[in-house]
Amino acid sequence: MPSSLLPTHVAIIMDGNGRWAQARGLERSHGHRAGAKNVHTIVSACARLGISYLTLYAFSTENWNRPKAEIGVLFSLLTDFLGRELAELERQNIRLATIGAIEDLPFAQRQALAHAIAKTKHNTAMTLTLALNYGGRSELVRAVRAIVDAGIPSASINEDVLAAHLDTAGYPDPDCVIRTSGEMRLSNYLLFQSAYSELIFSPVFWPDFGEAELKAALDEYAHRKRRFGKIEEPAG
């Protein structure tokens, strides 16, 4: 694939763990475990393909409305993942980062994240960002507060200033947002940043969204015509 057709920043809404489990007569927690395993597959595949930024929606601000036990499972899978994958991230030269209100996560998760982020901060092959306690609306509110707190005069506020106060400051906007499980909505993901992202929907539940499905999604992206409001460039 020519590099211009390969997205620089891929954002994924990893959805459908619960339905994956349900379809097998299993508890939702089994779906989350299978989903966490699949993160390894997709992270490795993206790094190998030369994606520079991979941003995964792991826990939304609205996911606090789930049963406590399910939230507990998700958080314990996060620390398991970090423990298991840190060496692998190091080996693949992947930098770990987060977006979202991390300060409101439980202590054990914050500690494990801080450790993994510090260990991988000089890695350069790919930035893997986990969106945790993330919501696009909450992020915008926090950005506005930071701008006000910094005393930036209203006349100086423009789109770049706002972008620089988002959790994704310094990131390129996602070229594509992929959502698994057949749902066709953003669910509060990267609302500002996805203004011109190509939206790609796969019917496959996240635990089954493997390398072949990823490649199909990237192929779909490569065939999209991005115009950014302009008229079509004449051929040649």
Which residues carry out catalysis? Answer: 15, 63
Write each residue from 171 to 200 as x if it is in contact with ligand IPE (CB under 6 A), else as -, in one continuous string. Answer: ----------x-x-x-x-------------
Contact 157, 135 (CB under 8 A): no
The DSSP secondary-structure symbol of 102 reads G
Cβ count near 203 (within 10 Å): 11
Least CB distance to ligand IPE at residue 213 (A): 16
The dihedral through the CA atoms of 49, 17, 58, 93 has a sign that is negative
- Exactly one of 12, 14, 15, 109 binds Mg ion (CB under 5 A); that residue is 15
Does residue 79 bind ligand IPE (CB under 6 A)?
no
Least CB distance to ligand IPE at residue 166 (A): 18
Which residue, 19 or 110, has its beta carbon nearer to Mg ion?
A: 19
d(CA 195, CA 2): 24
Does residue 58 bind ligand IPE (CB under 6 A)?
yes
Maximal C-alpha separation, the chain: 58
Amino acid of residue 180: T
Question: Pick from ligand IPE, Mg ion, none: which does 41 bind, CB < 5 to 8 A by kind?
Answer: none
Question: Pick from ligand IPE, Mg ion, none: which does 58 bind, CB < 5 to 8 A by kind?
Answer: ligand IPE
Which residue, 53 or 206, has its beta carbon nearer to ligand IPE?
A: 206
CA atoms within 13 A on the CB side of 230: 7
Pairing label, strands 176-179, 126-134: unpaired
Exposed, middle or buried by CB within 10 Å (0-12, 13-18, 19+), for 158?
exposed
Question: Pick from Mg ion, ligand IPE, none: which does 135 bind, CB < 5 to 8 A by kind?
Answer: none
Report which of 49, 59, 122 is spatially closest to residue 89, judged by C-alpha positions.
Answer: 122
Applying CB under 5 A, the span of 14-22, 86-94, 115-123, 209-217 interacting with Mg ion comes to 14-22
Instruction: Find the DSSP H helices in the chain.
Output: 17-23, 28-49, 68-91, 107-120, 136-149, 159-164, 211-222
Does residue 16 bind ligand IPE (CB under 6 A)?
yes
Does residue 60 bind ligand IPE (CB under 6 A)?
yes
Question: Pick from Mg ion, ligand IPE, none: which does 19 bind, CB < 5 to 8 A by kind?
Answer: ligand IPE
Does residue 53 bind ligand IPE (CB under 6 A)?
no
- Exactly one of 6, 19, 162, 220 binds ligand IPE (CB under 6 A); that residue is 19
Which residues contribute to the site for ligand IPE (CB under 6 A)? 13-19, 57-60, 63, 74, 181, 183, 185, 187, 206
